Structure 1
Amino acid sequence: MIYLLPLLSVFIGYLIALFLKPSSSLGFKLLLSFSGAYLLSITVFELLPTVYEGGSEHIGIFIMLGLLLQILLEFFSKGVEHGHIHHDENTGKFPLVLLISLCIHSLLEGFPLHNTEHLLHGVIIHKIPVAAILSTFLIHSKISKFQVFLFLSIFASMTPLGSWIQSNFTQLDQYNYFISAAVIGIFLHVSTTILFEASKNHTFNASKLAVIIFGILLAYLL
């Protein structure tokens, strides 16, 4: 399931982009808010305590490095990781820089998925709206259908690839806590950005507040 579900989430996101208008859909915005709350809660409740059990005094440094890495990646991806994209749709060039930045993000998030099934669920819930926004951009861009398929296929394979590398290269075991700490930094930045953007002009509507609270409670109870 660690390998299959991330692939399936990108496919679902693509279908959403085909049949809905994610950027203007209230249901989609609520899903994005829920995904941010759930991912943040799983990170705090489960992944964060796990890395500090490793006992290293440098864990906090790697969490901050992960956060800074995500800020750098978003300079190139223009924010698609938290449900927005600001690339020019009228260009016919293959968005290679966007692909590379998303691949780095997705590859790293695959490493700690063996720690908890709940984290896998959080990544999947987060990946669906991201894939929908990304697919919407690609569909409306001037690149070919084959290039759209190639882009989404590579993007979808990165999270399973990260999980596979972690499971099959035992020499990385000694660095697991540090890699997971960097991923925590990535998740903290992405999820909190989603929640801050959900409260546009520093105001919440009742539906967004409800799904955010539900996401937090669900993560805690599970």
Structure 2
Amino acid sequence: MNIILPIVAVLIGFGVSYFVYQKSVTINLLLAFSGSFLLSVTVLEFLPVIYNSGVNSIGIFILGGILLQIILEYLSGGAEHGHFHLSKEKKTFPFVLFISLCIHAFLEGIPIHGNDHLLYAVIIHKVPIAIIIASFLFNTSLSKFKIIFFLLVFALMTPLGSFVQSNTTLLDGITIYLDAVVIGIFLHVSTTILFESSKDHKFNIYKFGIIVLGIVLALVL
């Protein structure tokens, strides 16, 4: 599940962007729902587990995760929360964007093994982000080969992070610290989505209802 579902989520996003996607209020509501659900699962389940681990310096790594995500978003232009732009005339492969998104996707795959709720949160988060990323790539002058390569590798990075964590010893001894870093990443991404998905930051009853739905779903699950 933790290997296949993240790939399926990204492929669904790519398929929607290629065949039917048009930027509208719908994608902002989907982003708001994914952000509220990811934030709720992180705060209600992921964060308490990490703090109950007994590692005294865990808060430092959470803050480090927030700082790391700020750097990654600077490099990617905010693609992790749905805000970035590429020139339509761009023909060279966007290596900086690619590397930034791959690091983000790999790290978020590390804690999802054995945590179904977190897995669902990551999947729900990936679909709208994949739609937006793919829609921008398809509207550039990049070759179809470069776009397909970008999308396939990006789709594989989260499952790769989960696989490395659960099937190798490479991360033994540092997993708890990496989990704390991922919490920081999730906190930054989810709150940024919630604060930025309203036009002019005005109160929107539809967005508010979607956010509440995400929180309630996390509580019920």
Following superposition, the deviation at residue 64 of structure 1 comes to: 0.5
Following superposition, the deviation at residue 198 of structure 1 comes to: 2.1
Cα distance in structure 2, aligned partners of 1:171 and 1:87:
35
* SS of equivalent residue, structure 1 residue 170: coil
**TM-score normalised by length of structure 2:** 0.96
Is 1:70 aligned to 2:81, yes or no? no
1:139 equivalent in structure 2: 138
Following superposition, the deviation at residue 115 of structure 1 comes to: 4.0
2:191 equivalent in structure 1: 192
Following superposition, the deviation at residue 86 of structure 1 comes to: 2.1
Cα distance in structure 2, aligned partners of 1:20 and 1:204:
28
Structure (1/2) with the larger helix percentage: 1
Cα distance in structure 1, aligned partners of 2:57 and 2:7:
33
The Cα offsets for residues 105-140 of structure 1, whole Å up to 9 and x where unpaired, read as: 000000000241010000001001111111011101
Cα distance in structure 1, aligned partners of 2:206 and 2:170:
47
Question: Equivalences for 1:128-167 in 2 at 5 Å?
Answer: 128-167=127-166
Cα distance in structure 2, aligned partners of 1:148 and 1:203:
36
List structure 1 runs of 4+ shifted beyond 6 angstroms: none
Question: Equivalences for 1:1-222 in 2 at 5 Å?
Answer: 1-22=1-22, 24-170=23-169, 172-222=171-221
* SS of equivalent residue, structure 2 residue 148: helix
Cα distance in structure 2, aligned partners of 1:84 and 1:4:
26
Following superposition, the deviation at residue 26 of structure 1 comes to: 1.9
Q: In the alignment, residue 211 of structure 2 is paired with which amino acid? A: I
> Mind listing any 5+ residue stretches in structure 2 that lack a counterpart?
none
Aligned residues of 1:78 and 1:87 also touching (Cα < 8 A): no
Cα distance in structure 2, aligned partners of 1:42 and 1:206:
23
Cα distance in structure 1, aligned partners of 2:41 and 2:88:
34
% identity of equivalent residues: 53
Following superposition, the deviation at residue 171 of structure 1 comes to: 5.0
> Mind listing any 5+ residue stretches in structure 1 that lack a counterpart?
none
RMSD: 1.2
Aligned residues of 2:86 and 2:140 also touching (Cα < 8 A): no
* SS of equivalent residue, structure 1 residue 173: coil
* SS of equivalent residue, structure 2 residue 84: coil
Q: In the alignment, residue 155 of structure 2 is paired with which amino acid? A: A
Cα distance in structure 1, aligned partners of 2:186 and 2:134:
22
* SS of equivalent residue, structure 1 residue 110: helix
**TM-score normalised by length of structure 1:** 0.96
Q: In the alignment, residue 134 of structure 1 is paired with which amino acid? A: I
Following superposition, the deviation at residue 193 of structure 1 comes to: 0.2
Q: Which moved more, 1:13-22 or 1:40-49?
A: 13-22
* SS of equivalent residue, structure 2 residue 211: helix
* SS of equivalent residue, structure 1 residue 172: coil
